[in-house]
Amino acid sequence: MSDTNNQGSQSQHIHYHDPNAKFDPPERLIKNAHIKSFTQYQQMYEQSINDPELFWSQIAEQFHWESQSSGQFLDYNFDVRKGPIFIKWMEGARTNISFNMLDRNVEKGLGDKVAFYWEGNDPGDHGKITYQELLEKVCMFSNVLKGLGIKKGNRVAIYMPMIVELVICMLACARIGAVHSIVFAGFSAESLSDRILDANCCAIATADGVWRGSKLLNLKSIVDKALEICKEKGKPVATCIVVRHMSVLSEEASSDSNNVGEAPDESPVGKRPCKKLKINWQPGRDHWWSDLMKTADKNCDPEWVDAEDPLFMLYTSGSTGKPKGVLHTVAGYMLYAAATTKYVFDLQPDDIYWCTADIGWITGHTYVCYGPLGNGVSGIIFEGTPFYPDAGRFWAVIEKYKVTKFYTAPTAIRSLMKFEDNFVTKYNRSSLRILGTVGEPINPEAWLWYHRVVGNSECAIVDTFWQTETGGHVITPLPAATKTKPGSATFPFFGIVPAILSDEGKEITGPGEGYLVFKQPWPGIMRTVFGNHERFEITYFKKFPGYYTTGDGAKRDEEGYLWITGRIDDMVNVSGHLLSTAEVESALQEHDAVSEAASVSHPHHIKGECIYCFVTLKEASHLGELFNDELVKELTAAVRQKIGPFAQPDFIQNAPALPKTRSGKIMRRILRKIAVNDRDIGDTSTLADETVIDTLFKLRPKDA
Ligand code: PRX
């Protein structure tokens, strides 16, 4: 790694087309920063990789351990040739993450500090909860869960909007040693049921509904459908807990006297909109959150669990189409979430920290919930969208709470920069110090707009590369230490040893491009795919034995900066959400008219990437052979229904045949070229029938 400190370039006005243009860390951050220079970063980095035990045990000292381990601090095997893959940090030590997030902070005198501000979908709908109050609610809900028979190791599904009860539910699971499995409340009933079944969840927590922008979502009805599917498949879920977020019960609801009528608003924060929403009720299975909380005891001793006990699972798309339950364990995840949040956002006691991600994704797990709480800062839980009531909402919220550290996705930045700068500049953003991005590569134009317009050229930008699997940031700048280049995630975080490999698996040591892999474990790395360890080994460790393979490509420039080039497998990153092409194809194939489908990634100016589908119709389809707008609508709806609205393809084209090799393998490389209308398709000698290509070019949709 090169020391960039001597290559000064006062860069605020540098033209962004120069990929070596560098932005200095803002002077005003340096004095109080945890890491004040690149040299300090390098020293700590060297220590973190040469003596991980020393490095991470110092970080572990900030936390409470009910008992220490007498065994090895770190034990692992990263090489499939030597036996099964395993990773264990601090095994044998006992702790509880909810205790560390809550009780420990209260003991340190932070009881009256705001843990979360809650900002609802409607401006003016807001509230807050202190660390002491959060602890009390978490204890109460832990007792509720125990009262319902939920025990250590049981899986609890959570399908909730961005409300404080979501965090309460996560931490209550953690407090009693149950494993939470959060499903983003934008997934369809079918996707939800797949995840509940795979994890064998015994309970689910949800809310009646939620406004997302100006759209009303009836979450309970989606959960009802999902639970119906689980029942049909012989695995009924015994318990469904419903937060009254907005509804008054309809007449169609059950007449069970305990569950009818106005439940008192037990909401821990703010007022809630009370909008009519019809929901159904299944007595015995369904319980109002507020009813259960009424009698719950306010004290609950934490369950002391092993460092390597599971904390949560979170599904991520897999290239075979079946989502993988990524499993994270307690201690390693806690250390890594807390350390990355502290250093990457240079957390200070008076920070107001806001990560806009939904908790349904890993970014929300680590950087809305566990990371900020682990550092005792005040965070924001935002239920709304960037465009409601207008495109100034983010900046209005920043002004309202005097946000100091802000973290969002490139797709949001790209969609907001289309509006006049005035949407941003009319709000006071002088509190801002650090601006983060995550989820996909950020293009330099978006980076520069974020820096100049949002940050008034005075903030550090941290482009953080990581994955559901990594638990936290793995390649990222440190705001007061790293000179940044727009579009580069820069250098590895502590404990991360990246390498770039060629197709043959050779390490490319200098400048070059290839597969991004990691050579040794860090505390936050996933431990397994729930219920399928073999899939874990095959997906991440088989292609290049001895390395964790990210599935992303990267290049290293002359100065050692890392640039993520995007997925190199069959995954599409739509607005920062990973989807597998196989998942989309199987949704299309379920349609009666379809005989075969292939989908590929296509560049999109806002979403980064979008999905482009090729569909071959069945000759004998009852819908006839005609490929028309109606069919495209139906196919689009099929994907939305099967996976969720965010997976909707942008383009679906008629493909009388697909380009295949003689052995019948679809040549996606060629489909990607057709999707972008690039006739330079390279070698076609392995194609079974070359004429297919011309036809497909002719049939491209006009707007593609
Ligand atoms: O392709 C990379 C991209 O998002 C993938 C991980 O997606 P997921 O597990 O859903 O987690 C998203 C939030 C961490 C990666 O394999 N990705 C994430 N961050 C970046 C990125 N690509 C480029 N630059 C980033 N900063």
Buried b (16+ CB within 10 A) or exposed e, 440-469: bbbbbebbbbbbebbbeebbbbbbbbbbbb
Nearest Cα to Cα of residue 5 among 28, 32, 34, 35: 35
Protein residue with its CA nearest to atom 22 in ligand 1: 440
Identify which of 317, 370, 465 to mutate to test ligand 1's pocket (most ligand atoms within 8 A of the CB): 465
- If one counts every other C-beta atom within 10 angstroms of the C-beta of residue 396, the result is 18
pLDDT in tens, 528-561: 999 999 999 999 999 999 999 999 999 999 999 9
Q: How far from chain centre, in Å, is Cα 624?
A: 41
Give the pLDDT mean for 264-283. 68
Nearest Cα to Cα of residue 656 among 623, 622, 697: 697
Protein residue with its CA nearest to atom 23 in ligand 1: 441
Q: How far is the CA of 161 from the centre of ligand 1 (A)?
A: 22
- Report whether pLDDT(85) > 80: yes
d(CA 229, CA 197): 9
Protein residue with its CA nearest to atom 25 in ligand 1: 465
Residue type (1 letter), 4: T
- Report whether pLDDT(468) > 50: yes
Please give the number of the atom of ligand 1 that sits closest to the Cα of 489: 26
Tokens 């909707």 belong to residue? 648
- Report whether pLDDT(41) > 60: yes
Q: How far is the CA of 6 from the centre of ligand 1 (A)?
A: 31
Percent of the chain with pLDDT over 70: 92
Q: How far is the CA of 528 from the centre of ligand 1 (A)?
A: 19
pLDDT at 621: 52
Give 274's pLDDT tier (boundaries 50, 70, 90): low
Identify which of 365, 518, 564, 646 to mutate to test ligand 1's pocket (most ligand atoms within 8 A of the CB): 564
Q: Which residues contact 694 (CB under 8 A, 6 or more apart)?
A: none
Give 586's pLDDT tier (boundaries 50, 70, 90): confident
pLDDT at 682: 85
Please give the number of the atom of ligand 1 that sits closest to the Cα of 463: 26
For residue 109, give Cα distances in angstroms to 102, 106, 376, 533: 11, 5, 10, 43
pLDDT at 626: 77
**Which letter does DSSP use for residue 660 in this model?**
B
**Which letter does DSSP use for residue 67 in this model?**
B
Q: How far is the CA of 366 from the centre of ligand 1 (A)?
A: 14
Q: How far is the CA of 566 from the centre of ligand 1 (A)?
A: 8
Give the pLDDT mean for 18-36. 93
pLDDT at 256: 41
Identify which of 366, 563, 572, 573 to mutate to test ligand 1's pocket (most ligand atoms within 8 A of the CB): 573
Average per-residue pLDDT for the chain: 92
- Report whether pLDDT(258) > 80: no
Protein residue with its CA nearest to atom 7 in ligand 1: 467
pTM: 0.91
The residues lining ligand 1, judged by C-beta closer than 6 Å to any ligand atom, are: 316, 362-363, 438-441, 463-468, 489, 550-552, 564, 566-567, 573, 578
Three-state secondary-structure class, residue 286: strand
Please give the number of the atom of ligand 1 that sits closest to the Cα of 437: 26
Q: How far is the CA of 135 from the centre of ligand 1 (A)?
A: 32
- Report whether pLDDT(8) > 90: no
Q: How far is the CA of 467 from the centre of ligand 1 (A)?
A: 5
- If one counts every other C-beta atom within 10 angstroms of the C-beta of residue 595, the result is 13
- Report whether pLDDT(110) > 60: yes
Protein residue with its CA nearest to atom 3 in ligand 1: 440
d(CA 16, CA 24): 14
Dihedral, 288, 293, 294, 298 alpha carbons, nearest 10: 180
pLDDT in tens, 659-688: 988 777 888 889 999 999 999 988 888 888
pLDDT at 647: 93
Give the pLDDT mean for 636-652. 94
